[in-house]
Amino acid sequence: MAKFIFITGGVVSSLGKGIASASIGALMESHGYKITILKLDPYINVDPGTMSPFQHGEVYVTDDGAETDLDLGHYERFTNTKTKKLNNTTSGQIYYSVIQKEREGKYLGKTIQVVPHITDEIKSKITDLSKDVDIVICEIGGTVGDIESLPFLESIRQLHLQSDSHDTLFIHLTLVPYIKAAEETKTKPTQHSVAILRQIGILPQILLCRTEKPLSDDIKEKIALFCNIKKEAVIEAIDTDLIYEIPLIFHRQNLDKIILGFLNLKIKPDPDLLKWKNIIHTLRTTKNSVKIGVVGKYIKLQDSYKSIYEALTHGGIANKLKIEFIKIDSEAMEKEGPGKLLKNVDGIIVPGGFGIRGVEGMIETVKYCRENKIPFLGICLGLQCTIIEFARHVCGLKNAHSTEFIPECPQPVVCLLDEQKMMTKLGGTMRLGAYPCKIIKNSFSFKAYREELIYERHRHRWEFNTSYFDEFKKNDMVFAGLSPDEKLVEIVELKNHPFFVATQFHPEFKSKPFAPSPLFSSFIKACWKYRKKL
């Protein structure tokens, strides 16, 4: 029988509940337990796939093609969990399936209510994941006190009541702010947020206190007393510049032992945290760095390219280099030009996106990298911009574009396949999830992956228009990766360049600090060589 750890958040959003959950997962694994992590999101959308990146941040894609919350990216990066559709459930999905069952007559004449029908559905989503693991970690999205999260909180309260006392554990992440004018650390928001939980019948046993300053013993004692928590279970979650240090920060305060104690599980005297210590050592001691320009449409929001920034950091770890990010809005690029905005960068990434805004700035960036032989990695829309740029400026197809942007375009080098033309709904209908890609030898990609068949994750509708194959080949574009039936272009490259690779898939989703994406590692290596003029 698996144990359940429920993680709630209080006071404000953006306290890093996803990273805290992932770090707890890493700590449980360091004691030899098999875990899984799921996120329950209170919003009514069925998934974040149709939301703007400015609203929601990155949409993380799993192998099985689910469009999910970006916290699942943290779960995969920190732990051995392979997330799937089931690892992210929204209120929208819960209501959708309850209403479908009602229409099918499955409730036999009953009145359908939040309790028990919605809560039963939520509970089954949580327990469904418990089959092959020792511990299920369940993160509840949103902040306690929100109307939307009430059914989720009610469900975990019920699960606790229906389980043996050592089988469930409630952890609450809260904010302990420091008020500069008063020069004081304040515990009241935490007291109030725990009070809301207690009103709905949840008594948290561990508090993770997000704070910018270390918490004194007095403050911990006060929080413990007012929130009905043991003092040693008041954990300081101090701000850090390195998210990968968080498992170690928690471990130093015995959080792993406290959790396992509550769950009545065996504690390893010497948990296996060496790999974490090693990457932190690398990141703290590395002196050399490379400057990477990221030219995208959603630069303003830190979370929109989360996995890209993380994968770059992993590529840095693999090469013992720090990454300096130069983030540039592709609309600004249209006005000011790459020569001015990308001076002194050692490599450039053009990431994914939707819609025409800022696309010309991306195309101009690709041209700049191609002509000036600056290491370049294009991803998804980045590949499509590469195709358009090459068509216009190398093949002489002056009106080349994607039909996403100009539906009636006379030279549609990027277009929709018939199956996508027939789609009438936007949600969940893109080419999603892991697909195979054959790589040709003698390519940058083969040198990176050292394999002829790879699987990477996709999230797009448009494809390279293969009727232009010959034209592009004639002009020396290298089709380095294709689908096994050779109908879809997965990777394009250029020869006589330090590193020029664009992929239709998203290699960033599978990158981990301990298993960096091969393409990102090779890209960073090329950037370092470029910087050093090697």
**Exposure string for 378-404, b = 16+ CB within 10 A, e = fewer:** bbbbbbbbbbbbbbbbbbebeebbbbb
Angle between helices 359-372 and 381-393 (to 10 degrees): 70
Contact between 460 and ligand GLN per CB under 6 A: yes
In the complex, least distance from residue 353 CB atom to ligand GLN, rounded to whole angstroms? 5
Residue 52 DSSP one-character state: -
Closest separation in Å from C-beta 444 to ligand GLN? 20
Residue 359 within binding range of ligand GLN, rule CB under 6 A = no
Kindly tell me which residue out of 58, 245, 404, 508 binds ligand GLN, with binding defined by CB under 6 A.
Answer: 404
The SS3 of residue 490 is: strand
Q: Are 446 and 440 in contact (CB under 8 A)?
A: yes
Residue of 148, 153, 150, 151 lying closest to 138 (CA atoms): 153
Which residue number, 222 or 459, has a Cβ lying nearer to ligand GLN?
459
Neighbouring C-beta atoms of residue 140, cutoff 10 Å: 24
Among 210, 459, 510, 531, binds ligand GLN (CB under 6 A): 459
Q: Which residues contact 180 (CB under 8 A, 6 or more apart)?
A: none
Task: Take residue 370 and report the two structure tokens written for it.
Answer: 């191609």
Question: Would you list the DSSP string of 262-299?
Answer: HTT----SS---HHHHHHHHHHHH---EEEEEEEES-T
Segment interacting with ligand GLN (CB under 6 A) among 4-12, 301-309, 346-354, 484-492:
346-354
H-state helical runs in 15-134 = 17-30, 53-56, 71-78, 91-103, 119-127
Which listed range, 250-258, 288-296, 352-360, 473-481, lies at the site for ligand GLN (CB under 6 A)?
352-360
**The binder of ligand GLN chosen from 35, 208, 363, 381 (CB under 6 A):** 381
| Strand partners for 140 | 40
Task: Tell me how far, at minimum, the Cβ of 354 lies from ligand GLN, in Å.
Answer: 4
Tell me the closest approach of the beta carbon of residue 459 to ligand GLN, in angstroms.
Answer: 5
**Cβ neighbours of residue 473 closer than 8 Å, sequence gap 6 or more:** 479
User: Which entry of 380, 385, 395, 415 is annotated as an active-site residue?
Assistant: 380
Q: How far is the CB of 510 from ligand GLN (least distance, A)?
A: 15
357 binds ligand GLN (CB under 6 A): no
Catalytic residue among 56, 74, 117, 506: 506
433 part of the interface to ligand GLN, by CB under 6 A: no
467 DSSP assignment: G
Among 136, 229, 290, 380, interactor with ligand GLN by CB under 6 A:
380
Q: Is residue 401 a contact point for ligand GLN (CB under 6 A)?
A: no
Residue 135 near residue 1 (C-beta atoms within 8 A): no
State yes or no: is 458 an active-site residue: no
The CB density around residue 55, as the number of other CB atoms within 10 Å, is: 10
Active site residue 486: no
Helix, strand, coil shares of the chain as percentages rounded to 5? 40, 20, 35
Residue 453 to residues 349, 391, 435, 439: CA-CA distances in angstroms?
24, 28, 10, 6
- Could you say whether residue 363 binds ligand GLN (CB under 6 A)? no
Q: Is 380 a catalytic residue?
A: yes
Rounded to a whole number of angstroms, the minimum distance from the CB of residue 389 to ligand GLN is 15
Nearer to ligand GLN, 283 or 432 (CB): 432
Tell me the pairing of strands 289-296 and 206-211.
unpaired
Which lies closer to ligand GLN via its Cβ, residue 327 or residue 461?
461
Residues 438-457 that bind ligand GLN (CB under 6 A): none
Q: How far is the CB of 362 from ligand GLN (least distance, A)?
A: 10
Interface region with ligand GLN, contact rule CB under 6 A, candidates 42-50, 99-107, 122-130, 347-355: 347-355
Which of these ranges, 5-13, 157-165, 204-212, 351-359, lies near ligand GLN under the rule CB under 6 A? 351-359
Q: Which stretch binds ligand GLN (CB under 6 A): 6-14, 26-34, 131-139, 379-387?
A: 379-387
Position of minimal CB gap to ligand GLN: 352
Q: Give the active site residues.
A: 380, 506, 508
Residues that bind ligand GLN (CB under 6 A): 352-354, 380-381, 384, 404, 459-462
